[in-house]
Chains A and B, each alone.
Chain A
Amino acid sequence: MFWRASVRRHPEFRDGVRASAPIAPGIAAWGLMTGVAMVNAGMSTVEAAAMTLLVYAGSSQLAAIPLLVAGAPMWVIWATGFCVNLRFVVFSLHLRDYLIHMPRWRRLVNGFLTADMSYALFTARHPLPADDAEGRVAQEAYLAGNYAITWVAWIMPSLLGVALGNLVPSQWGLGFAGVLCLLGVMCSLANTPLRILAAVVAGAAAVAAYALPFKLNVVAAIAIAVLAAFWLESRGGARTRERAA
């Protein structure tokens, strides 16, 4: 945690900061647009600022905006946010061995602040968890350096975007930038044939089922696409096993 002097003064903290610095401009641009998109969609300044500070997860925030506007039920918004965030569940499995020695609140703070980029940089630099106290302190300091930069580069421009969003008429359609950010993240995740298929199936299903109440079309789309891709994957696996046998 970067507000602790013992963490911040560690030389590894500075290395973590240095590793994260090159990605800061990209995160800042995305944060700015997310801030503008929230206010342009009709959220109040207080709501948008609270979302920036408390949710701290760009893609789930942007996915929640159209659902909030449509007045979808709370559980649908939360469930969609959780599905968008499922990649973090996989990251947490990996990070467990690095953090489990800490007290729980400290694990939760470290986990909350570790988003995609910090996870990627941290695990690239430290492929294995440390097995002595000194190594653990160094790893926490490096991770804190990573997410300190990410946090500042996200929060500040995002709040600026919330402030500026009020000055920009919504007819300009700057909120569409939020959709484009999600599109970019979606493309970056569609990196295997079956994942591309999952995206195509989910998109088509969400449009076809649009008339469902409560934005359930998104939930239905996720379910159909996951089942379709998983079924095809299992069939492919069975065929490979047959061939091997």
Chain B
Amino acid sequence: MSDVPGGTDLWTMAVILGLAGVTVLSRCFFFILERPWSLPDWARRALQYAPVAALAGVVLPEVVMTQGQLVATWQDARLFATAAGVAIFFWRRSVLMTLVAGMAVYLPLHLGLGW
């Protein structure tokens, strides 16, 4: 991202173009070529764990870390919002409800109490 707030830089645009390519590559993976082929069985079985692992690897540091350090206090709105979000998900099975409930916990704590 540009050092100037609101500025657009070429590096970020290149990342975005590459990510667009990643979308096409992943969504069309097995029908880009007409030649029939498929994944070896072990790869298909290992593959099923990668998406959930990638999301957890991105999400957890965003929740429990501040500037490279583990949060030292429990007075952090993110912890409570995440707990509420997970609980609601397993109750209602809805990503939308997870978002709504999480923000309903996060915003009062973050804006009201400054956590």
Residues of A within 8 A of B (CB): 25-26, 29-30, 33, 42-47, 50-51, 54-57, 59-64, 66-69, 71, 74, 77-78, 80-93, 95-96, 99-100, 104, 107-108, 111-112, 114-115, 166, 172-174, 176-177, 179-190, 194-195, 198-207, 210-211, 217-218, 221-222, 225-226, 229-230, 233
Using known A-B contacts A47-B16, A108-B24, determine if residue A198 contacts B103 with beta carbons closer than 8 Å.
no
**By the criterion CB–CB under 8 Å, are B23 and A60 in contact?**
yes
**By the criterion CB–CB under 8 Å, are B62 and A61 in contact?**
no
The distance from the CB of A232 to the nearest CB of chain B, in whole angstroms, is 10
Tell which of A71, A93, A183, A203 touches B38, judged by Cβ atoms closer than 8 Å: A93
Main secondary structure, interface of B, reads helix
**By the criterion CB–CB under 8 Å, are A33 and B17 in contact?**
no
Residues of B within 8 A of A (CB): 1-2, 5-8, 11-32, 34, 38-39, 42, 44-65, 68, 70, 77-78, 81-82, 85-86, 89-90, 93-96, 98-100, 102-103, 106-107, 110-111
Using known A-B contacts A195-B52, A202-B52, determine if residue A179 contacts B20 with beta carbons closer than 8 Å.
no
Tell which of B11, B45, B89 touches A233, judged by Cβ atoms closer than 8 Å: B45
Tell which of A50, A69, A92, A225 touches B13, judged by Cβ atoms closer than 8 Å: A50
Tell which of B7, B13, B90, B106 touches A173, judged by Cβ atoms closer than 8 Å: B106
10 pairs, A vs B, C-beta closer than 8 Å:
A81-B23, A83-B50, A84-B51, A99-B31, A112-B23, A177-B99, A186-B56, A195-B48, A206-B57, A221-B56
Residues of B within 8 A of A62 (CB): 58
**By the criterion CB–CB under 8 Å, are B58 and A63 in contact?**
yes
**By the criterion CB–CB under 8 Å, are A183 and B24 in contact?**
no
Using known A-B contacts A47-B8, A47-B12, A173-B110, determine if residue A225 contacts B49 with beta carbons closer than 8 Å.
yes
Tell which of B24, B59, B110 touches A179, judged by Cβ atoms closer than 8 Å: B59
The 9 closest A-B pairs by CB, nearest first: A184-B95, A221-B57, A203-B60, A184-B98, A111-B28, A225-B53, A85-B26, A202-B53, A83-B54
Using known A-B contacts A50-B13, A95-B31, A210-B65, determine if residue A69 contacts B1 with beta carbons closer than 8 Å.
yes
Using known A-B contacts A55-B23, A92-B27, determine if residue A222 contacts B54 with beta carbons closer than 8 Å.
yes
C-alpha spacing A146/B27, complex, angstroms = 16
Residues of A within 8 A of B39 (CB): 93
Residues of B within 8 A of A205 (CB): 57
**By the criterion CB–CB under 8 Å, are B24 and A206 in contact?**
no
C-alpha spacing A225/B56, complex, angstroms = 10
**By the criterion CB–CB under 8 Å, are A46 and B8 in contact?**
yes
Output the nearest chain B residue to A46 by Cβ-Cβ distance.
B8
Residues of A within 8 A of B64 (CB): 207
Output the nearest chain B residue to A95 by Cβ-Cβ distance.
B31
Residues of B within 8 A of A226 (CB): 46, 49-50, 53
Residues of A within 8 A of B50 (CB): 83, 86, 222, 226
Tell which of B8, B22, B77 touches A78, judged by Cβ atoms closer than 8 Å: B22
Output the nearest chain A residue to B106 by Cβ-Cβ distance.
A176
Residues of B within 8 A of A201 (CB): 53
**By the criterion CB–CB under 8 Å, are B22 and A186 in contact?**
no
**By the criterion CB–CB under 8 Å, are B99 and A184 in contact?**
yes
C-alpha spacing A204/B64, complex, angstroms = 10
Tell which of A67, A77, A95, A181 touches B99, judged by Cβ atoms closer than 8 Å: A181
